[in-house]
Copies of this chain bind each other. A is one copy, B any other.
Amino acid sequence: MRTPSETNLSAEDLLGLYRRMLLIRRIEERLGEDFKRGDLPGPVHLYIGEEAVATGVCAHLTDADWIASTHRGHGHFLAKGGDPKLLVAEVYGRAGGVCRGMGGSMHVADFSKGILGANGIVGGGIGLAVGAALAAQLDRKGAVSAAFFGDGAANQGVLMEALNVSALWKLPLLLICENNGFSEFSPTGTVTVGAIADRAKPFGVPAAAVDGNDVIAVWQATNAAVRRARAGEGPSLIECRTYRLRGHVESEGSFIQERYRADEEVAAWIARDPIARLASYMDEHALAPASAREAIEAEIATIVAEAVAYATDSPYPAPDQARQFMFA
């Protein structure tokens, strides 16, 4: 990690990033437990371990900017300012959920916050984000659009189509690849040739590969890309190398028999946990007292408790709701 003077980030900024990452972590830990207890109706893909990516990127975005997310979408939702209550209630399938229980974990969206939604289609968010970038360009208000997608998604042809058309039209687009080393259970190298960041080069799209567990590195790379996009100079690709500390999907123990990664590998990445790393960094540079982080921890415990209480208090939707919302 860089020294504070290189980062452009104040201690307050850093605590803000810390807080956001921790919020994602604690909400998802809770959802993980809920899943294990059988309290969640559908599948959940947790973002634990990858929080620095969504947090470092979304720190640059306002509600006027757009993001399109993935099947692993809780982190993006919270990083972009989505309400934890509405998220948890949605994953619980309740009427008070952000999508009234219609979408669940794989479809959490809040258009009022610029969140185009999680997505059950790997690579599906890329097209949506290109469209939002086109909208932003036409709006001429300097908004940008970011597509999050995995290393696995990088093998979908839509990425190349997006690179070409966004470069051609100089769309304010950020292509954020979350390379967590796996496409489900396939290690990246077994399905993906070459470096993903390089795929931007033939299109003259600037690309960077950064340590995706270093929130400051992600923040900095995004800073450059967002400036470029807001200035009308076109798209950028940022490949964030990270790791998911949980399974691909919380239910995987029930259907996967083989081990697909070594304990040592997981342990090595636990040692690079983005939240703990930011904490050490702040300690090292005496940027914020541990007490500040403890206060955040306490605050977030309350938020999680409130979100869960809100969700459990919320009723299931009335069945006739299922026939609504097809047509506007």
Contacts and interface: CB of A to CB of B under 8 A. Distances in A.
Given A157-B161, A160-B159, A204 B199 contact: no
A198 B199 contact: no
A157 B160 CA distance: 5
Interface string A194-225: 11001101111000000000000000000000
B159 A157 contact: yes
Contact of A155 (B155, B161, B192, B199): B161
A270 interface: no
A191 B203 CA distance: 12
Interface magnitude class on chain A = 20 to 34
Contacts of A195: 202
Interface of A is mostly: helix
Q: Which has the most chain B C-beta neighbours within 10 Å: A159, A168, A193, A194?
A: A193
Contacts of A249: none
A201 B204 contact: no
A229 interface: no
Interface string A147-180: 0000000011111110111011000000000000
Contacts of A160: 155, 157, 159-160, 199
A195 B163 CA distance: 13
Nearest to A207: B202
A144 B15 CA distance: 58
Contacts of A163: 193
A161 B192 CA distance: 10
B191 A168 contact: yes
Interface of A: 155-161, 163-165, 167-168, 191-195, 198-199, 201-204
